[in-house]
Amino acid sequence: MTDAITFPDVVNWAVPFFIAAILAELLWIVIKGRGGRYETRDALTSLIMGAGNVASGILLGFIAYGFFMVLWEITPLDLGTSIAVIALCFVLDDLRYYWVHRFGHRIRWVWASHVNHHSSQHYNLTTALRQTWTGTFTFMMVVRAPLILLGFHPAMVLFVGGLNLIYQFWIHTEAIGRMPRWFEAVMNTPSHHRVHHGRNPRYLDCNYAGVFIIWDKMFGTFVPEMEEEKVDYGLVRNLGTFNPIRVAFHEWVGIFRDATQPGLAWRERLNYCIMPPGWSHDGSRETSTAIKARHVQAHPEAAGTPGLPPLTEHTS
Amino acid sequence: MPLSILLPMVALGIAGIAVLLHLLGLSRRAVLADAAAARAAWLREFPGDAPARVTLCHDRSAALIETETGRGVVWGMGADTTARYLDGARLTPTKTGLRIDLPDYTAPRIHLTLDATEAAHWQDALKETA
């Protein structure tokens, strides 16, 4: 079995490109007067979150890598490092990304890590870098286990994961409208991903794709960007702070406070960790499903349109 | 990439972009154009709880909101806005108005620019809430 395999750390090597692209997008917006918005403190917070994400990778990356290397020792399979294998690994890892991302929106424990990526009310290339500091604690590295056990080397899996992240950088922009139809049909694009960052009821919890939008179409979570409904970026309840520490940890603090409040059954404490964001033991809060249902009640004409449920006894 | 290159590049990149944005005038805080804008900003956060009364600050940076269920504040967050109910709020007078401390990890402190009359009005209104 090949252990001494190395791949470039592509995310770190992409940092100069990230900086140059942000400057180019900013220049475009300032000169053209359209194509997005920038605000100093918002962008600064996003960039610090990005730097913190790199730092957390350096400090905690050994945990996931150690786990992957244990799996690599166990598996009898080794697919090698041919271009075809790397390409296959890229596609399968993108499927892995889809599910981790979907869990990230539907399981509060994972959302606690991912929420900071959605916490900006802006949508520009700095938003792409507003990444988690706490991904290791979600234990979502287990979703990569099948790839390693199938014989894809851990270094290769991390390499294609890095390429996936770099691909997703350029789609965080309002400067690009729609790509050619064939491209929109197969690939994740700025249009598809704008929808994912929307806090409009219609746009909640959809378009989880990393690189290929086909996963959302296959698994029924695709919602197109609609001309008649402009995307409103941010969280259902927007943050009142730019402090990166609070941005990084606020949902973890929320989980702790909810799960440790007095008078709850153990099952309720657990549910505050694993149920979708917005779940509460007394029904005093709203999940995305409840928000969509309430929206349809108030706007019955929108029922059954993309991203919204039909009017049923449950919603009417 | 060696850390000796990565770290300075990241630090300079972040600082450079922040300075550039500020020099381009992109640090301006959101201003609530009028009471209708404050109302809309509140409803953006709490769509199910319509304001019954809106009291806009003189510099239009924030507004006191009164609804059937309680009182709240809407204020500028960078170029945008957010809002919170004022349950459990502590008010502290400052040289420029009031500081509101909230028992909310996501919005712990709000600095309001108020004149003396406004500050007194906010304090009176919030005595019933806190």
The phi, psi pair for B73, rounded to 5°, reads -135, 140
Instruction: Fill in the amino acid letter for A26.
Output: L
Task: Please compute the mean of the pLDDT values over residues A279-293 and round it to a whole number.
Answer: 97
CB contact under 8 A, B14 and A44: yes
- The whole-angstrom separation of Cα A70 and Cα A5 is 15
Rounded Cα gap, residues A70 and A79, in angstroms = 17
Q: pLDDT tens across A36-56, in order?
A: 999 999 999 999 999 999 999
Q: B19-27: list long-range contacts, CB under 8 Å, 24+ apart.
A: B20/A23, B20/A26, B21/A26, B21/A38, B21/A39, B21/A40, B21/A43, B21/A44, B22/A40, B24/A26, B24/A30, B24/A38, B26/A38, B26/A39, B26/A40, B26/B79, B27/A39, B27/A40, B27/A41
B-chain residues near A37 (CB < 8 A): 79
**Does residue A93 have a pLDDT over 90?**
yes
| Burial of A260: CB neighbours in 10 Å, binned 0-12, 13-18, 19+ | exposed
B106–A contact, CB cutoff 8 A: yes
Reported as a single tens digit per residue, the pLDDT across A175-187 is 999 999 999 999 9
* Residues 6+ positions from A47 with CB-CB distance below 8 Å: A126, A129, B13, B14, B17, B18
pTM above 0.90, yes or no: yes
* The pLDDT value given to residue B1: 80
Q: Which of B80, B81, B107 sits opposite A241 (nearest CB)?
A: B107
A200 pLDDT higher than 70: yes
Please name the residue ranges forming H helices in chain A. 10-13, 15-32, 40-74, 83-106, 108-114, 125-128, 145-149, 154-169, 181-186, 190-196, 214-219, 244-259, 266-274, 288-298
Q: Which amino acid, residue A237?
A: R
pLDDT for res A316: 45
**Token pair of B41, please?**
């900003």
Pick from A54, A20, A195: nearest CA to A130: A54
pLDDT the model gives residue A78:
97
Number of residues written out for chain A = 316
What DSSP assignment string belongs to A125-184?
Answer: HHHHT---S-GGGGTGGGGGHHHHHTT--HHHHHHHHHHHHHHHHTTS-SS-----HHHH
Where is pLDDT greater, at A315 or A104? A104
pLDDT over 80 at A310, yes or no: yes
Residues of chain B contacting residue A23, judged by C-beta atoms under 8 Å apart: 17, 20
Distance from CA of A308 to the nearest CA of B (A): 17
Say whether residue B27 is in contact with chain A using an 8 A CB cutoff: yes
d(C-alpha A197, C-alpha A200), whole Å: 9
Q: ∠ CA A229-A232-A238 to the nearest 5 degrees? A: 155
Residue A44 CA, distance from chain mean position: 20
Number of helices (H) and strands (E) in chain B: give both, helices first.
3, 7
Q: What pLDDT, in 10s, does the model give residues A155-172?
A: 999 999 999 999 999 999
Q: What single DSSP character describes residue B64? A: E
* Whether the predicted pLDDT of A303 surpasses 90: yes
Closest by Cβ to A40, choosing from B10, B27, B84: B27
Which residues on chain A are in Cβ contact (under 8 Å) with B74? none
φ and ψ at residue B85, rounded to 5 degrees? -70, 155
> Among B23, B26, B45, B74, which would you mutate to test the A interface (most chain A Cβ atoms within 10 Å of its Cβ)?
B26
Residue A89 has pLDDT above 50, yes or no: yes
The pLDDT tens digits along chain B (130 residues) read: 888 999 999 999 999 999 999 999 999 999 999 999 999 999 999 999 999 999 999 999 999 999 999 999 999 999 999 999 999 999 999 999 999 999 999 999 999 999 999 999 889 888 766 5
What is the tens place of the pLDDT at every residue in A220-277? Answer: 999 999 999 999 999 999 999 999 999 999 999 999 999 999 999 999 999 999 999 9
When the pLDDT of each residue in chain A is averaged and rounded to a whole number, the result is 96
Instruction: Calculate mean pLDDT across residues A282-298.
Output: 96
Rounded Cα distance, A173 and A185, in Å: 19
| A60, A245, A282, B22 from B10: Cα distances, Å | 19, 18, 45, 18
Quote the minimal CA–CA distance from A168 to chain B in Å: 19
What is the predicted pLDDT for the residue at B41? Answer: 98
Percentage of chain A with pLDDT > 90? 94
List chain A residues with CB under 8 Å of B78.
39-42, 121, 242
Q: Which helix (H) or strand (E) holds B118?
A: helix B116-127
